[in-house]
Amino acid sequence: MKESVRNIHKPRFLFEYKGQPAPYPTLTLQRIDILKTRMIHVILPVGLLQCNCSILGDEATREAIVVDPGDEIGRIAASLKEHQLTVKAIVITHAHIDHIAGAQKLKALTGAPVYLNPDDEELAQMLDVQATWLGVQKPDPVEIDSPAADGTSLTLGAAAIHLIHTPGHTQGSVCLYIPSENKLIAGDTLFRDSIGRTDLPGGDTRKLLSSVKTRLLVLPEQTLVFPGHGPSTTIGREKDHNPFLRNL
Ligand SMILES: [Zn+2]
């Protein structure tokens, strides 16, 4: 058989990436692009109420931000170790016990500062009362290092993480918006098909709906939303299907 005929079905590798042949230059570019921009995101549902703790990690610097370490700090630490990450900040979306109870332990373990919106400091100081609501052990008091005010921006590698104040579920609730990742970590403000409860101290339904309408539904519809409990969703999906947002 002639050489040219024998080779006709052989893939023609034009570019190589990390020693592996890549069949098309466009695919090579896409792969590099994905590796450059996508951050590590581990979601661990922790504790009695299965609060979604997020570990955000940068592939290049190996720095991490941990959001809502509510419980099971051993599991969180194991995941950080597995991904070889060093924690540079601990962000609490709001001071309900299921989101904040493990923060002091993680802070002691990592030395990372704890961010909480000042409007939730009062709630953070009544963790013993909150423990009786759930019938769980009283956690260590949490020392807050940085006020997570509206507009605060943190960086993780090349990515910016913006804190958006969304009062309603609690007075000091915040969401984390990461435009480069197209992601929102929503705490207990917005859920798939639901919204946060407002019947606990500091809760306010009118404020919650206003926060969702003016701060969250204005984000791009394709924004991935990671709520504080349960499955993920998108801003567009909740606009269309969330029964609590129908009359906004
Ligand atoms: Zn909550």
Residue 122 lies in a domain: yes
From ligand 1's centre to the CA of 173, what distance in Å? 9
From ligand 1's centre to the CA of 50, what distance in Å? 11
* Residue percentage of the chain with pLDDT more than 90: 82
From ligand 1's centre to the CA of 65, what distance in Å? 20
From ligand 1's centre to the CA of 241, what distance in Å? 22
Residue 191 lies in a domain: yes
From ligand 1's centre to the CA of 218, what distance in Å? 23
From ligand 1's centre to the CA of 228, what distance in Å? 8
What pLDDT shows up at residue 23? 40
Backbone angles phi, psi at 186, to 5 degrees: -100, 0
From ligand 1's centre to the CA of 58, what distance in Å? 27
Residue 22 lies in a domain: no
CATH number, residue 74: 3.60.15.10
CB 190 within 8 A of CB 227: yes
CA atoms of 56 and 66, how far apart (whole Å): 6
CA atoms of 2 and 19, how far apart (whole Å): 29
Residue 29 lies in a domain: no
From ligand 1's centre to the CA of 167, what distance in Å? 12
- The answer for 111, left when phi > 0, alpha when psi is -120 to 50, beta otherwise, is left
From ligand 1's centre to the CA of 188, what distance in Å? 5
From ligand 1's centre to the CA of 187, what distance in Å? 7
105-145 per-position pLDDT tens digit: 999 999 999 999 999 999 999 999 999 998 998 999 999 99
Residue 11 lies in a domain: no
Residue 31 lies in a domain: no
What pLDDT shows up at residue 32? 43
What pLDDT shows up at residue 112? 98
From ligand 1's centre to the CA of 134, what distance in Å? 12
From ligand 1's centre to the CA of 8, what distance in Å? 61
Domain that holds residue 109: 40-245
Residue 181 lies in a domain: yes
Residue with tokens 């969330």: 242
pTM of the predicted structure, to 2 decimals = 0.85
CB 117 within 8 A of CB 175: no
- SS (HEC) of the chain: CCHHHHCCCCCCCCEEECCEEECCHHHHHHHHHHHHHCCEEEEEEECCCCEEEEEEECCCCCEEEEECCCCCHHHHHHHHHHCCCEEEEEECCCCCHHHHCCHHHHHHHHCCCEEECHHHHHHHCCHHHHHHHHCCCCCCCCCCCEECCCCCEEEECCEEEEEEECCCCCCCCEEEEEHHHCEEEEECCEECCEECCCCCCCCCHHHHHHHHHHHHCCCCCCCEEEECCCCCEEHHHHHHHCHHHCCC
What pLDDT shows up at residue 162? 98
From ligand 1's centre to the CA of 22, what distance in Å? 47
What's the total number of domains in the chain? 1
Residue 225 lies in a domain: yes
CA atoms of 188 and 205, how far apart (whole Å): 13
Backbone angles phi, psi at 191, to 5 degrees: -120, 165
What pLDDT shows up at residue 9? 44
b/e per residue 97-124 (b: at least 16 CB within 10 A): bbbbbbbbbbbebbebebbbbebbeebb
From ligand 1's centre to the CA of 96, what distance in Å? 5
Q: What is the pLDDT along the chain (248 residues), one digit of tens a residue?
A: 444 444 444 333 333 344 444 444 444 444 444 444 579 999 999 999 999 999 999 999 999 999 999 999 999 999 999 999 999 999 999 999 999 999 999 999 999 999 999 999 999 999 999 999 989 989 999 999 999 999 999 999 999 999 999 999 999 999 999 999 999 999 999 999 999 999 998 999 999 999 999 999 999 999 999 999 999 999 999 999 999 999 88
What pLDDT shows up at residue 37? 53
What pLDDT shows up at residue 29? 42
From ligand 1's centre to the CA of 31, what distance in Å? 38
CA atoms of 1 and 223, how far apart (whole Å): 55
